[in-house]
Structure 1
Amino acid sequence: MSTVEVVTSIDIHGGILVGDDGSPASRQAVRWAAGLAGRLGAPLHVVRSWAISSAPRPATATGGYVPPLTDFEQAVLDRLRADVDSLELPEGTDLQLHVLHGPAGRRLVEASEHAEMLVVGTRGAGGFLGLRMGSTADQVMRHAHCPVVVVPVPGADDPDDLDTQLLGRG
C-alpha cells in the first residue's frame, strides 16, 4: 500500500510571504502584500494552511468514498486560486500559491525562514469575537524568522459595537 504525501513545508528564497485563510482580514493582507511586492519587484507567496476539518469537499468525495488527502489538498488549492483571482491583484504580480497541511501559525513560521517579510491580517476566520489580534498573527509575530507586518482591517472593530456584542445586547 502506497503512502499518500501532502505538502507540509515550502522552501522559498526571498520574496514576500502572506498568509491567507479566506477571511476579510487575510484578503486585505494579500492586497497589501501584493502592492508592496509589485513596488519591490519581489515574488508574492500566498500560503493557505489546511486540515481535513477546514478543507473544502473534494469533487471526488461521493457517497461512501473518502478521497485521499491529496484530493483535499487540491480542493484547498482550487479555493485559494479562486479567492486570490477575485482580489484582482495588479497585473504582473509574480504570484505563487502554496497550500500546506497543518496549523497555520507553525507552517507560516517555518516558511518564513528565507522570506524577506511575512504578512498576515489581524484576525482570521477562526477568531473569537472581540479579540484585536488572532492567535496566528500573535504566533508569527513572536516566532517568525523575518520581519512581520500585521495588516489591520479599517473599521472592522468598532469598540462600542464589540461591547454591545460581547454583552449580548446586539
Structure 2
Amino acid sequence: MDVSQQASERIVVGIDGSAASSRALAWALRQAALTGGTVEAVQAWEVPAAYGTGMMVIPNADEFEAAAKDTLARTVDQVAGNDPGVPVEQHVVAGHPAKALIGAAEGAALLVVGSRGHGGFVGTLVGSVSQYCVSHATCPVVVVREDD
C-alpha cells in the first residue's frame, strides 16, 4: 500500500472515558483492520466553566491535561490491548471536544464518535458533540450507538 492510500484511511475516534467512546474505539479498530487504515484516538479537554472566566490564571490546568492523557491511555489500553492489529496514535487536545474532533478529522477518511459521552443529558439519543460532528465534519461520521 502506498503512503497516499494509507493516509486516506486514517480514522479519527473521539475518546472521553465513557462506555460509548470505548465502543466507538472498538468499532474504529475493526474498521481500520478491514481497510488497512490507522486509528487516531483523540481526547479533548478544557477547563470547566465553573472555574471562572478565561481572564483568570488557572494554576492547575496541567492537571486537566494530565487527567485527559490518563483517560485516553487507559481507554486505548482497555479496548485495544497490547496488540490492536492496527497502528493507534493517541492525541490530547485542549479545547471543546466537538471542535477539537472536527479539527483532528481534517483530511481523515472517517470520524467515529459515541452516541453520548460524559456530560450529556441522560436519555438523549445523540449527544451534543456527536450532533456537532455530524453537522460540521468534512469527512463521513459514524455515530456508534449505546447498547441497551
Q: TM-score, normalised by structure 2?
A: 0.80
User: 2:79 — aligned with what?
Assistant: 87
Gap regions ≥5 residues in structure 2: 1-6, 50-58
**Is 1:131 paired with 2:124?**
yes
Give RMSD over aligned pairs.
Answer: 2.0
Q: Is the 8 A contact 2:16 2:71 kept in 1?
A: no
Q: Secondary structure in 2 aligned to 1:105?
A: helix
**Alpha-carbon shift at residue 52 of structure 1 (Å):** 2.6
Pair member with larger Rg: 1
Cα deviation code 1:28-49 (max 9, x no counterpart)? 0010001111221211000011
CA distance in 2, matches of 1:76, 1:91: 21
Classify the secondary structure of the residue corresponding to 1:113: coil
Number of the residue aligned with 2:37? 42
SS, match of residue 105 in structure 2: helix
In structure 1, C-alpha distance between the alignment counterparts of 2:68 and 2:84, rounded to whole Å: 24
Aligned position for 1:96 = 89
- Structure in which a larger fraction of residues adopt helix: 2
Q: Assess, with a 3 A threshold, how the Cα gap between structure 1 residues 26 and 91 changes in structure 2: closer, same or farther.
A: closer
Q: Kindly report structure 1 stretches of 4+ aligned residues shifted beyond 6 Å.
A: none
**Structure 2 counterparts to residues 42-61 of structure 1, below 5 A:** 42-53=37-48
Which amino acid counterpart does residue 80 of structure 1 have in structure 2? L
Q: 1:144 aligns with which of 137, 142, 148?
A: 137
Alignment length, in residue pairs? 132
Residue 31 of structure 1 corresponds to 26
Tell me the TM-score normalized by structure 1.
Answer: 0.71
Q: Counterparts of 1:100 and 1:91 in 2: how far apart (Å)? A: 23
Please say if residues 29 and 84 of structure 2, whose CA atoms lie closer than 8 Å, have aligned partners that are also in contact: no
